Amino acid sequence: MNRERRTRPGLRARVTVTFAVGALALSGVMAGITYLTARAGFLSERQAEFRRQAYVNASLVQNALRVPGTEVNQLLESVDTLPGSRSVLNTNGQWFATSISVGRSQIPAAERELVLSGTAASQTFTIAGTPEVVVGVPLPGVHAAYFEVFSLEEIERTLQTLALTLAIAAGVTTLAGAAVGQWAAGRALRPLRGVSDAAAAIAEGDLGTRVDAGDDADLSRLASSFNRMADHLQERIEREARFTSDVSHELRSPLTTLSASLSVLETQRDQLRPAGRRALDLLSADLSRFTRMVSDLLEISRFDAGSAELSLDDVDASELVRHAVVAAARPHGSDPFRAPAVPVVIEPAATDMRVRIDKRRFERIVANLVDNARQYGGGVRRVVVDAPAGAHGPGAFMRVAVEDDGPGIAPDERDHLFERFYRGHHAGRRGAGEGTGLGLALVAEHARLHGGSVAVEDAPGGGARFVIDLPVEPVAGSAGGDGPPEGTTSRVVG
Ligand SMILES: Nc1ncnc2c1ncn2[C@@H]1O[C@H](COP(=O)(O)OP(=O)(O)OP(=O)(O)O)[C@@H](O)[C@H]1O
Ligand SMILES: [Mg+2]
């Protein structure tokens, strides 16, 4: 069943979000508690102040009303009130007020009745959307009731500012929480990055890479498990490489004996019957194929064991290529005069180019490519030598392209072409001229040892074009380090 995999956010993102949510929850609760406590404190303090003021004014009004002939409106005006507060007086059933905005009808009926019946009371209510507090004081001695209305608008504004400030503080705390989470996750994950770098280096072929746990107790278990795994892996790979090398070595002496015996038989070929001669031919073809395979395997095992080394010479690039092409065009045992001439094109940039190169390995590269072009590509069309980044200086590299007249290489085959024993649709066939599928794998290894690369693409005008890029000055021990730029085609980079 094809189950869809949902991609989860990374550990760092999850830790960051957790810290942010935690900070938000904590700061939200703190802000809420602070707001409610501050609000309750403010209101009770202000209401006590309002009550105090109302009682003082009520007693002033009571004293004044005891004096006969007191002008009530003047009396109310003379009462000292807090800014924004307004007085309302009921005396002998008549209502007086200092402001037209507040009078009998604005005071809540329940409050009015309670105070007129002789009980002091205070109540919060709204006038035109503005919160107000009314404090009512009965004045039974003078048959009156004194009300004072105080506005809560200023307190509400203060509380709104406080709420806004607390919300901003909660937002800032949330952001700070997220930042701390990201930093903490980054710190916690840093050791893992070391392990992942080491794993990447091992995957790239640097089998000796290990993780150093330092003095980190948590990391040391992971590091020692990782290093143990790397030890096993390295041991196993080296054992396998040694095995291939040992087997190839062991096969060399019987092969030499077989070749010598076959040469003896060849000298007596004329005395053999036709069936015997045919058998001799088959034996000879298979033996030379076998010998080549053993020598290729030996070469490859040296790469695997890491013991392959460059033996560099300073040579003229065009001479080198011409020489290698002539040698390749004259394969073992063939008639040098019947081998078809291969045109070598030296581009102007590469005319006087000098390269430091392992000549034997370069000749093996060219021999493999020319041999392949002959076997699978209808013959070599031309070999082109170029220096796309100039012939000298840092970054300069020699580009050698071998083009053929064959069917070319299908794009989906290009990635596999450089794998060991890959023979494409030739796999399974056996014959005198058939290869073993090691040729291009070796080409890639030789190129890589120089810090270069090999790629395959379509040749202009059809056919395949194998492109080898080799640095003019290989850096010792940096196989693949400062190689030439990668092409757009399947490229095995060293
Ligand atoms: N120029 C080419 N045109 C078409 N196909 C090619 C060309 N060169 C290589 N191939 C394909 O790539 C396969 C692998 O080539 P490679 O040189 O690695 O092995 P081989 O030639 O089969 O054997 P060996 O080179 O070890 O004797 C070949 O079997 C062939 O199918
Ligand atoms: Mg080949």
Q: Dump pLDDT digits (tens) for 37-80.
A: 999 998 899 889 999 999 999 999 999 988 888 888 888 888 87
**Ligand found nearest the CA of 422:** 1
Q: Whose alpha carbon is nearest atom 17 of ligand 1?
A: 439
Please report, for the chain, the start and end positions of each structural domain, with discontinuous segments joined by +: 11-159, 207-307, 309-493
For 443-489, the pLDDT digits (tens) are 999 999 999 999 999 999 899 999 999 999 887 544 444 445 443 34
Class of domain 207-307: mainly alpha
Q: For residue 490, which amino acid is it?
A: S
Residue 145 has, within 13 A of its CA and on its CB side, a CA count of: 24
Q: Can you tell me the distance from the alpha carbon of 165 to that of 441, in angstroms, rounded to the nearest whole number?
A: 70
Q: What's the pLDDT score for residue 21?
A: 95
Q: What's the pLDDT score for residue 161?
A: 95
Q: What's the pLDDT score for residue 380?
A: 93
pTM: 0.61
For ligand 1, what atom is nearest to the CA of residue 441? Answer: 18
Q: Measured over all CA atoms, what is the biggest interatomic distance in the chain, rounded to whole angstroms?
A: 165
Give the chain's residues under pLDDT 50: 1-2, 432, 477-483, 485-494
Phi-psi category of residue 404: left, alpha or beta, with phi > 0 → left and psi -120 to 50 → alpha: beta
**Ligand found nearest the CA of 377:** 1
Q: What's the pLDDT score for residue 426?
A: 67
Cα 368 to middle of ligand 2, angstroms: 5
Cα 374 to middle of ligand 2, angstroms: 9
For ligand 1, what atom is nearest to the CA of residue 424? Answer: 31
Q: Can you tell me the distance from the alpha carbon of 37 to that of 32, in angstroms, rounded to the nearest whole number?
A: 9
Cα 440 to middle of ligand 2, angstroms: 6
Cα 146 to middle of ligand 1, angstroms: 112
Question: Strands 344-346 and 380-386, how do they pair?
Answer: parallel
Q: Can you tell me the distance from the alpha carbon of 133 to that of 148, in angstroms, rounded to the nearest whole number?
A: 8
Is 481 strand, coil or helix?
A: coil
Tokens representing 155 are 């307190």
Question: Ligand 1 pocket check: which of 364, 372, 423 to mutate, most ligand atoms within 8 Å of Cβ?
Answer: 372
Q: What's the pLDDT score for residue 381?
A: 94
Residue 55 has, within 13 A of its CA and on its CB side, a CA count of: 10
Q: Are the beta carbons of 371 and 327 closer than 8 angstroms?
A: no
Q: Which CATH architecture has domain 309-493?
A: 2-Layer Sandwich (3.30)
**Ligand found nearest the CA of 441:** 1
Q: Are the beta carbons of 219 and 213 closer than 8 angstroms?
A: yes
10 Å Cβ neighbour count for 354? 17
Whole-number Cα distances in Å, 41 to 47, 151, 156, 157, 304: 10, 17, 13, 15, 81
Tokens representing 177 are 């929480």
CA 33 from centroid of its chain's CA atoms: 42
Burial class from Cβ neighbours inside 10 Å (0-12, 13-18, 19+) for residue 226 reads buried
Q: Can you tell me the distance from the alpha carbon of 430 to that of 150, in angstroms, rounded to the nearest whole number?
A: 109
Q: Are the beta carbons of 177 and 20 closer than 8 angstroms?
A: yes
Among candidate residues 398, 393, 494, 489, the one with its CA nearest the CA of residue 446: 494
For ligand 1, what atom is nearest to the CA of residue 466? Answer: 1
**Ligand found nearest the CA of 445:** 1
Mean pLDDT of the chain: 87
Q: Whose alpha carbon is nearest atom 8 of ligand 1?
A: 372
Whole-number Cα distances in Å, 186 to 20, 182, 211, 213, 220: 15, 6, 19, 17, 18
Extended beta strands in 65-170, E state:
86-91, 94-97, 121-127, 130-139, 144-151
Q: Which residues contact 380 (CB under 8 A, 6 or more apart)?
A: 325, 329, 340, 342, 370, 373, 374, 402, 403, 404
Q: Does domain 11-159 have CATH number 3.30.450.20?
A: yes
Q: Whose alpha carbon is nearest atom 29 of ligand 1?
A: 423
Q: Give me the residue label for tokens 């290729």.
A: 296
Q: Which residues contact 61 (CB under 8 A, 6 or more apart)?
A: 75, 76, 79, 87, 89, 139, 144, 146
Phi-psi category of residue 266: left, alpha or beta, with phi > 0 → left and psi -120 to 50 → alpha: alpha
Cα 247 to middle of ligand 1, angstroms: 24
Q: Whose alpha carbon is nearest atom 30 of ligand 1?
A: 423
Q: Can you tell me the distance from the alpha carbon of 421 to that of 140, in angstroms, rounded to the nearest whole number?
A: 117
Q: What's the pLDDT score for residue 97?
A: 87
**Ligand found nearest the CA of 424:** 1
Q: For residue 479, which amino acid is it?
A: A
Go through 385-417 and write b for each residue having 16 or more CB atoms within 10 A of its CB, e for each that does not. Answer: bbbebebeeeebbbbbbbbbbbebbeeeebeeb
Whole-number Cα distances in Å, 492 to 365, 441, 446, 488: 14, 9, 11, 11
Helix (H), strand (E) at residue 473:
none
Q: Can you tell me the distance from the alpha carbon of 237 to that of 397, in angstroms, rounded to the nearest whole number?
A: 32
Question: Ligand 1 pocket check: which of 420, 440, 446 to mutate, most ligand atoms within 8 Å of Cβ?
Answer: 440
Question: Ligand 1 pocket check: which of 382, 423, 490 to mutate, most ligand atoms within 8 Å of Cβ?
Answer: 423
Pocket (CB within 6 angstroms of ligand 1): 296, 368, 372-373, 376-377, 404, 406, 409, 417, 422-424, 426, 435-441, 464
Phi, psi dihedrals of residue 448, rounded to the nearest 5°: -65, -40
Give the CA-trace dihedral at 357, 293, 420, 444, to 10 degrees: 10
